[in-house]
Structure 1
Amino acid sequence: MHLQSHHPYPSRRSAVAADNLVATSHPLAAQAGLSMLYQGGNAVDAALAAAIALTVVEPTGNGIGSDAFAILWDGAELHGLNASGRSPANWTAERFSGHAKMPFHGWESVTVPGAVSAWVNLSERFGKLPFEKLFEPAIGYAQNGFPVSPVIAALWQRGAGQLSHQPGFAETFMPDGRAPKAGEYFKSPGHARTLKRIAETKGKAFYEGDIAEEIAAFAAEHDAALTLDDLATHRADWCGTISKGFDDSILHEIPPNGQGIAALMGLGILSGTNIRDLDADDPQAHHLQIEAMKLALRDAEHYVADLDHMRNITVSDMLDDGYLAARAREIDPNRASDFGVGAPRHGGTVYLSAADASGMMVSFIQSNYAGFGSGVVVPGTGIALQNRGAGFSLDPSNQNAVGPRKRPFHTIIPGFLMDHEGPVMSFGVMGGPMQAQGHVQMVLRTQLFGQDPQMAVDAPRWRVTDGLGVACETTMPAEVLERLRAMGHDISLETPDNAFGFGGAQLIHRLPGKGYVAGSDPRKDGMAVGF
């Protein structure tokens, strides 16, 4: 990994190098994490303080009612945590019989929030600082207020227009009857109160105590399925990781119910192509990646579900080298294809990364799914509940079919890159279906094409949509777009600031010998900071 002084992409940012680093999508959250490192904490403490702060300062992508996942290197071993929640016990197929598809907003999209359990589990097992200390920056921002940043202000305005009628939303997120503007101060005393109770009780108040009772009572008031028992029976799982190699690099992802397997499949498919002979911005390199991701995503969307319910096709089937090589042979090097689902043989989000001088590295992601999530906000608590239930299928034959106490298909994925000598990079690219595609683009840019983290983050991105559709950023060179169109890709152009369209990447890469280098996405308000 070499730091480049000349960048070919439109960004004024330079990669940040230090012994201790935090990279997030919001400056105040990055500073919250850094403050824990200054106070003797480790990378887990930094990641958690940043994540908790993000529930306050970036409510357009996450909140106390989020789910979360993490991959961390503790200095000797890699660990994976799945803290996504399950559906309410009363979510039977019959409950949704009158729907054409799963509801996207409102109480009927709300699953049990898992993020708080992630904070508790990570802190108990790996943190150095007292749990309560991790909450201090976030509580301060909620209690005293903070100036709303530009990207968040735009997303807030959009969310308010869609969700103002949802229970509790306007009361919490629309003071004076509107969304706050960039630079205006926003306070959330209810949010501060909830965080204090979570900190004091190490999460018990949220799942079993007074906060849980407030959530369940508000659900009952609206005839929703979520109960106190649903909250009390939640658990996060230390699930390990699944992985796939590309030359000397080994990408690790969380096992299903997440879409991380699609990134692994994409890399596995690309291993069977000539992409190693191409340059980073060669139209042919984009074409091969696009085709590989179409193949991977078609399979992931069809087969991925709660791991306890994946009975027809297994993870091993989907990552089988022979199967991925066969999928690679389906790619026409000269033409775009509209692939169907394969047949393996039987057998709006926030992302952050932190690393410290001891060698610990953390890849952490939490999300309400669609911006503010369901739009439902428990009065007086600041808790915006996620809409992860929208990830279920209403097709009873689908492994991801809605059912009781079941985890839905998840888009949010933390990434972690290893090589045969140890950890290489903790990274993620927030933004719905962009995430697995973004992981592949970041891995190839940093490992195959030798770009530093900031250069890789700055580079124009593409995103597979439906059929032959590919959304590209307007910063993509005209000659590249022209060549992709000539190959049959149905290109649409979007600006890089298109909400979550092209994601927000945060990368921390180990330097040879000592230290790290980080990149933070200019598409967001955030930054990488260190010392």
Structure 2
Amino acid sequence: MEFDSAYYPYPSKRNALFANKGMVATSQPLAAQAGLEMIKKGGNAIDAAIATAACLTVVEPTTNGIGSDAFALVWTKGELHGLNGSGSAPKSISIEALQKAGYSEMPLYGVVPITVPGAPGAWAELSERFGRLPFSELLKPAIEYARNGYPITPSLGTTWQKAYNNYKKNLNGEEFANWFQTFAPEGRAPRIGEVWKSEDMAATMELIAESKADAFYRGVLAEKIDAFLKQYGGYLTKEDLAAYKPEWVQPIKVNYRGYDVWELPPNGQGIVALMALNILKGFEFTSKDSPDTYHKQIEAIKLAFADGKKYITDPAKMNMSVEALLSEAYADERRKLIGQQALLPEPGTPPKGGTVYLSTADGEGNMVSFIQSNYLGFGSGIVIPGTGIGLQNRGNNFTLDPTHENCLEPGKKTYHTIIPGFMTKGNQPVGPFGVMGAFMQPQGHVQVVMNTIDFQLNPQAALDAPRWQWRDGKSVWLEHSFPEHIAEALGRMGHQVQVSPASGFGRGQIIWRTPDGVLVGGTEPRTDGTVSIW
């Protein structure tokens, strides 16, 4: 990977960082340090990723938790491996059951949209296959911060306050009382600089650490989850938890200007980024700050989302093959639809969301791209009493339309928004990258990849650059620092442009490895992002 170090189209808040023994990039400094600590103890990048991910459930609970899903791309010993740590819908749920209960669509909060959480199982699976340190060692930082507390950072405090305001307004049933007891123990959100802790979460992490996550799926934690959800009419049971196992999958790719860009296959939406890049590689881009460049990027992502929202679901239920969607012939066909004016395809309506992403690398050549999320902030609003386990609400992405590809079915995995990315060239690793934020994620991936390959920006500059986000129809959000003359030009091309706050544009991390083994990292300026190096 080569960078034009003199090319900074926008003021960079910080420089890219360089190291050669270890690097962890994520959205919270304490979690990044926890991961790097494992490498210094003799662990590898996989150990670092697990420790960072577990720690993030404690130090950034606004976006992920013990009850999250997780996905990973792992480069080790010259090969890229994919892990799908998403869970399925409960065996007892169905469209008919929800309609009988009075639902016309999947609810956002409560016991109904809860699917099997995959994160604890994913941590244990990664450790078992590729880790070096004992699994119990990897969760020690998370346990320590949960038990002894940590001060709330500015971005975290702001997000926590917004979530509290939303939940206070919308979560009124007694089943939500434990969320408020856990995450608003003083009757309010923790303030910036204030210390927050959770003894319940610490005890739960100890059980997960000691049992290699078995307690969560087949032990005392599974029993507690089962009992509480039964009490409030939920569908997830201890039998659903016991049947769960993360799935090793073959990553998918497209070649973009000599680089292989990798994503995980459906049920994740990484294929959306690949379809867009497949369309875009048929154009030549000579300038980043060109209305035509942004126009083509936006049009390509719209076409990719139109297909993604139609076809992506549990791979066992998909009626369209990955190979067909990523074929050169299909990309050529879609590319022909892009003209000088904004298209109006037939996509879904991408909402905002919350996720954590991390990249790790060690001096031996191991690299990990890892992403973990509840979905839409704190998730379902359900916290299991005495455990600190906040459960995700991924089932909200299902539809109750039985004719749709992603319709709700017992034991089915839903369309999933969280996606880790990875890049290689000539069978050598370039490195992990990701941009979190629900349906912003494939859009962020496209922008980061093009910033890197087409415009030769180093990792930090690639993340600093102002972002756009297609919303629906012809609606496009532009970050507040976006060049005004380009915004005006896009408006003349038929895009319905709106300048919006930075919080809706995702949060990314990048670690690249140079041919001589030097690690180059960048972190997100839109949050408390950190790159810890050795």
Matching of residue 321 in structure 1 with residue 325 in structure 2: no
- 1:16 counterpart = 2:13: no
The CA deviation at 1:100 is 2.8
Cα RMSD over matched residues? Answer: 1.2
Secondary structure of the 1:375 match is coil
* 1:4-153 correspondence runs (5 A): 4=5, 7-19=8-20, 20-97=22-99, 98-153=102-157
Alignment partner of 1:524 is 2:527: yes
What letter is aligned with 1:135?
L
User: Unaligned stretches of 5+ in structure 2?
Assistant: 349-353
Alpha-carbon deviations, 1:239-293, whole Å to 9, x = none? 1201111120111111100100000100001122233xx2122121111100000
- Identity, % of aligned pairs? 49
* Residue in 2 that maps onto 1:194: 204
TM (norm. structure 2) is: 0.96
Q: Hey, what's the Cα distance between the residues in 1 that align with 2:346 and 2:532?
A: 44
| 1:168 corresponding residue in structure 2 | 178
| Letter aligned with residue 264 of structure 2 | I
User: What is the match of residue 216 of structure 1?
Assistant: 226
> What secondary structure sits across from 2:112 in the alignment?
helix
2:284 aligned partner, one-letter code: N
- The aligned residue for residue 372 of structure 2 is 366
Please give the secondary structure, in 2, of the residue aligned with 1:433.
helix
Q: Secondary structure of 2:438's partner?
A: coil
- Matches of 1:183 and 1:426 in 2, distance apart? 32
Q: Which secondary structure does the structure 1 equivalent of 2:370 belong to?
A: strand
CA distance, structure 2, for counterparts of residue 507 and residue 250 of structure 1: 16
Q: Deviations over 1:90-128 (max 9, x none)?
A: 111112223232111111111010000110000000011
User: Retained in 2: the 8 A contact 1:87–1:404?
Assistant: yes
- Indicate the residue corresponding to 1:257 in structure 2: 267
Q: How much does 1:341 deviate?
A: 6.3
1:495 shift after superposition: 1.8
* Partner-residue secondary structure (3-state), 1:286: helix
Q: Is the 8 A contact 2:360 2:368 kept in 1?
A: yes
Give 1:185 deviation, angstroms.
0.1
SS of residue paired to 1:285: helix
1:228 aligns with 2:238: yes
2:288 corresponds to which letter in structure 1? A
Structure 1 residues 28, 5: closer, same or farther in 2, change over 3 A? farther
CA distance in 2, matches of 1:364, 1:252: 13
Runs ≥4 residues deviating over 6 A: none
SS at match of 1:175: coil
Instruction: Give me the whole-angstrom Cα distance separating, in 2, the residues matched to 1:78 and 1:314.
Output: 21
1:445 and 1:8 map into 2 onto residues whose CA distance is 11
2:439 maps to a residue whose letter is P
Which of 262, 279, 284 does residue 292 from structure 2 map onto? 284
Is residue 427 of structure 1 aligned with residue 433 of structure 2? yes
1:163/1:169 contact within 8 Å kept = no
Contact 2:13 2:464 in 1 (8 A): no
For 2:6 and 2:189, how far apart are their aligned partners in 1? 40
- The answer on whether the counterparts of 1:208 and 1:232 sit within 8 Å (CA) in structure 2 is yes
Tell me, in whole angstroms, the C-alpha distance in 1 between the residues paired with 2:429 and 2:479: 31
How much has 1:200 moved relative to structure 2? 0.3
Matched, 1:495 2:501: yes
Residue 512 of structure 1 corresponds to 515
Matched, 1:244 2:254: yes
What are the equivalent positions in structure 2 for 1:399-418 lying under 5 Å apart? 399-418=405-424
Distance in 2 between the 1:340 and 1:30 partners?
Answer: 40
